[in-house]
Amino acid sequence: MRQRGFSLRCVNFDPCGGILLDLFNVFMVLRSRYILTLEHFLSCFWSCMRVVNRQTHDHKFIMVCDQMKFFKLLILSFAITLTVCFVYDYANAEPSVREILQKVADHGFKDSFRAVLTIKTTKGKKTVADQSLWVIGKLKNDDADFFFDFDQPEESKGLRFLLQIREKQEPKAFMYLPSTGKTLPLATEDPSTDIGGTGLNMDDIMGFVPKAGEVEKLVKEEAVDGQDCWVIQITRPDQRSRTLWIRKKDYVVVKSQESDAQGKVKRNFRVVEFFRTSQGRDYPREEEITVPDKNIRIVVRQENAVFGIEIPEELTDSAKFGQYKWRN
């Protein structure tokens, strides 16, 4: 990918014969930095030369001008060419993979929120779970806490989960069991961990959280529901991978796919419906997750979302979140 912010050092040209080598060396630097093609470079260069040529009284000025004047004109033409190439390439440069992923994080919601989720899980045509719960998110700088409080059905009422994400630390998760009054730690790396019988796992809850040792690459560009997207594949050290479809206009992940080390698709995610917030931003209203191996489909729908609210400290404390009465 092209890199931005490159500054070209001044080049001392030798008017007695080394200028072509200097021109070639600078071109190779630009080519490595901006992926310029030779045809593009030469086209820009000779276009500038024709502009200089028209400023002379004699269209054959190269044959009649003295050598120093010629080299001065050549250097001027080359400088103009560099400027044209730089501006053209900078304006048309695509962001790098790291830049795209950073913007996904930067463009995410930074406000704390509260919402009601309904989660319906089916296996084939049979409904195996139909849950209703509260989710509360506390977001501050690069840290995030997510609190889940199950409300329905009756057998799940009072079941709670807390997910803590800290910069440069492994995520932590905890589960509170109302039947025993105890809080237990959960393995965030275990894909088999089921969140309250919903069929959701920790990756579904965390979304895209970078992990150590991952390798990212831009696979292609593709339209999803008529929206242009970058397709980025993230490979873990164990060779499992996640592919993200990131919408270009606002850096929202609209689709993802998880595969095992052999490349077999294990899990699919996509945003089915968005709603527009009061700030004019798209926020997922309904999401769909499918597990092909188990013929499972999970539909998560978000209702009554409220943003910019104060979150009690007790709800983000692993020792207190289980029994704290946050609802009056």
pLDDT band at 217 (very low <50, low <70, confident <90, very high): very high
Tell me the pLDDT tens digit for each residue of 282-299. Answer: 888 999 999 999 999 999
Q: In total, how many domains does the chain have?
A: 2
Last residue of a domain, one of 93, 111, 127: 93
* pLDDT beyond 50 at 256: yes
The answer to whether position 125 is within a domain reads: yes
Look at 249 and 49; give whichever has higher pLDDT: 249
Q: What is the pLDDT of residue 44?
A: 52
Rounded distance between C-alpha atoms, residue 121 and residue 129, angstroms: 5
* pLDDT beyond 60 at 119: yes
* pLDDT beyond 50 at 257: yes
**55 shares a domain with 197:** no
Domain containing residue 162: CATH number? 2.50.20.10
Q: What is the pLDDT of residue 19?
A: 42
Q: Which ranges of 160-277 would DSSP assign to H, the alpha helix? A: 202-206
In single-letter form, the type of residue at position 18 comes to G
Tell me the pLDDT tens digit for each residue of 154-193. Answer: 989 999 999 998 877 888 999 999 999 999 998 887 767 7
19 touches 71 (CB < 8 A): yes
Q: What is the pLDDT of residue 319?
A: 95
Q: What is the pLDDT of residue 133?
A: 94
Residue 101: which residues within 8 A CB-CB, separation 6 or more?
208, 210, 216, 232
The answer to whether position 4 is within a domain reads: no
**200 shares a domain with 138:** yes
**185 shares a domain with 46:** no
Rounded distance between C-alpha atoms, residue 17 and residue 211, angstroms: 53
**205 shares a domain with 70:** no
**138 shares a domain with 108:** yes
**52 shares a domain with 111:** no
Helix (H) or strand (E) holding 140: strand 126-140
**81 shares a domain with 128:** no
Tell me the pLDDT tens digit for each residue of 22-36. Answer: 444 444 444 444 444
Give percent of the chain above pLDDT 70: 68
**33 shares a domain with 149:** no
pLDDT band at 224 (very low <50, low <70, confident <90, very high): very high
315 touches 324 (CB < 8 A): yes
pLDDT band at 208 (very low <50, low <70, confident <90, very high): low
Q: How many residues does the chain have?
A: 328
Last residue of a domain, one of 93, 117, 140: 93
The answer to whether position 327 is within a domain reads: no
**25 shares a domain with 42:** yes
Two tokens at 86?
């730089």
Average pLDDT over residues 239-253: 92
The answer to whether position 1 is within a domain reads: no
The answer to whether position 78 is within a domain reads: yes
Q: What is the pLDDT of residue 95?
A: 81
* pLDDT beyond 70 at 41: no
Q: Which domain holds residue 74?
A: 19-93
**154 shares a domain with 253:** yes
Q: What is the pLDDT of residue 73?
A: 58
